[in-house]
Amino acid sequence: MTSTRPRRRADAERSIARITAAARDLLSRDPDATIDAIAEAAGVGRMTLYGHFKTRADLVEAALVAVLEAGEATLSAVDLSGDARDALSRLLASSWELVAESAALLASAQGVLPAGRIRELHGGAGDRVAELVRRGRDQGVFRTDLPVDWLVNVVQYVLHGAAEEHRGGRIATADAARIVDATVQSVLAAPSHNPHT
Amino acid sequence: MTSTRPRRRADAERSIARITAAARDLLSRDPDATIDAIAEAAGVGRMTLYGHFKTRADLVEAALVAVLEAGEATLSAVDLSGDARDALSRLLASSWELVAESAALLASAQGVLPAGRIRELHGGAGDRVAELVRRGRDQGVFRTDLPVDWLVNVVQYVLHGAAEEHRGGRIATADAARIVDATVQSVLAAPSHNPHT
DNA sequence: CTTATCTCGTATATTCCCGTACGAGATAGG
DNA sequence: CCTATCTCGTACGGGAATATACGAGATAAG
């Protein structure tokens, strides 16, 4: 992203930033949000938006890229060393809202962007969580009786569900982190004994 | 003003059954499935469909009612007595796909049907699962550190996710039941010790 | 200041889907 | 066999959303 854009004015840059922010915000809640609505939320005219994003798919992709980059930044800022359970707690605490949002946006993009493109963009995010899960297995603190991919997906689903419940006001912001952590830890934990069967 | 009895012919009955089945199938996967697509999947013409369901909301409601009735039938056929963990296993084994489908269809109906109508239809289904969770708590085998409503929702989310993974061919039919059971049991189980923190 | 760039309104074309109207042909059921 | 019922095609109108065309005015950058 360095250097020679022949000519892009500062206000244009600002408009683009506001549009992608609004797109992230609205598309996370309603996958079918109107371009009009996004433009209005961004505080720009519809035609301005079209000036920067030729088609709806372009806009969705831009929003997805933005949120995934933010997610990557957050993930890489978290200390993932030490006990995998503690690392997981730190990861969830600092990023559960963001990850949940990215999941919603991902679902938004599902039918608008080609599947290959999505997987390409999403690539790194899930891999990092998978890596953490694998490390926890090697430490003997995470379960080995279920596939890693499935466990990673369950984490996603729990986060998504928590975000939805939170938006609906059915769980408070203060409790959310604790609830998410307790739930996810239970799913990943290695069975301490043989509790049943 | 021809006041004729609503006497229905056998072939009409058959068409209706095929339409609702197709609606269940398509709407569970894509909430925005078109009426054309549903008619085509049902093997009937679009106008035939309109002959039985005047509006889209009618069709969605019919599909929702059908799947909820099937769910109710399945739930009441399962023996929910004895150890709550075993009861939960029996419930999941015999109905996890159905419950997942009902959840997906419920999401479809969100925004098409008035909220009151949905709650009215959905009434019993979730309550029974919640009741089972409460019973497990009283038995001391299910956790008490998280809200019942949250736990019920997590079960829904896990089932939904499993159905999606299964459709995408990422988990095999044979493994699905085991994976779902193991995951859900972990979430609901009362912590055997204080494993961490 | 000058210019290229950006903003943004109006108008219009297009596409998609819903729902209705009309009517001809097929079929169940007495 | 006769009739009410059902099937289903074509066609039309309404509405919503996407996307393009044209152009006038505002503004950042050199």
Residue with tokens 């095999």: B172
Pick the CATH number of A8-54 from 1.10.10, 3.30.70, 1.10.3470, 1.25.40: 1.10.10
Chain B positions contacting chain A at CB under 8 Å are 30, 32, 85, 143, 145-147, 149-150, 153-154, 156-158, 160-161, 165, 170-171, 179, 182-183, 185-187, 189, 191-193, 195-196
Q: Three-state SS for B189?
A: strand
Q: Which fold has domain B58-188?
A: Tetracycline Repressor; domain 2 (1.10.357)
Q: Which of B145, B186, B187, B196 to mutate to test the interface with A (most CBs of A within 10 A)?
A: B186
User: Which residues have C-beta within 8 Å of that of residue A23, sequence separation ≥ 6?
Assistant: A38, A42, A59, A60, A62, A63
Q: Which of B98, B104, B107 is nearest to B28 (CA)?
A: B104
B187 pLDDT more than 50: yes
CA of A93 to C1' of D13 (A): 54
Residues A36 and A23: beta-carbon distance below 8 Å: no
Joined together, the tokens standing for residue A78 give 């978290």
pLDDT digits (tens, 9 = 90+) for B35-72: 999 999 999 999 999 999 999 999 999 999 999 999 88
- Which pLDDT band holds residue B195 (cuts at 50, 70, 90)? low
Dump pLDDT digits (tens) for B146-174: 999 999 999 999 999 999 999 989 999 99
Enumerate the residues of chain A whose CB falls inside 8 A of the CB of residue B153: 161, 165
pLDDT of residue B2: 36
Per-residue confidence (pLDDT) for residue B152, from 0 to 100: 94
The nucleotide whose C1' lies nearest the CA of A56 is D18
CATH 1.10.357.10-classified regions of chain B:
58-188
Q: What are B69-124's pLDDT values in tens digits?
A: 998 888 889 998 999 999 999 999 988 888 889 989 988 898 888 888 888 888 77
CA distance A107 to chain B (A): 12
Residue B16 has pLDDT above 90, yes or no: yes
- B179-189 core/surface letters (b: 16 or more CB in 10 A; e: else): bbbbbbbbbbb
Residues A187, B186: C-beta atoms closer than 8 Å? yes
Query: Kindly report the CA angle at B126 between B122 and B128, in degrees rounded to 5?
Result: 120
- Alpha carbon distance B52, B23 (integer Å): 13
Q: What is the pLDDT of residues A124-144, one digit of tens each?
A: 888 889 999 999 999 999 999
Alpha carbon of residue A190 to chain centroid: 26
* Residue range A61-188, CATH number: 1.10.357
CATH class of B9-54: mainly alpha
- Dihedral pair phi/psi, residue B144, rounded to 5°: -120, 5
A 10 A CB-CB count for B191 gives: 16
| pLDDT-derived band at B130, boundaries 50, 70, 90 | very high
Interaxial angle between packed helices B148-167 and A148-167, expressed in degrees from 0 to 180 and rounded to the nearest 10? 130
Instruction: Give the span between the Cα atoms of B187 and A187, in whole angstroms.
Output: 6
Domain with CATH 1.10.10 in chain A: 8-54
- Residue positions counted in chain A: 197
* Record: contact A161-B154, CB cut-off 8 A: yes
Give the one of B150, B171, B193 whose C-beta lies nearest to A165's C-beta: B150
Residue B93, H or E segment: helix B84-109
Task: Cite the residue boundaries of each domain of chain A with CATH code 1.10.357.
Answer: 61-188
Quickly list DSSP for A109-138. HTTTS-HHHHHHHHHHHHHHHHHHHHHHHH
Q: How far apart are the C-alpha atoms of B65 and A138, rounded to whole Å?
A: 47
pLDDT at B3 > cutoff 50: no
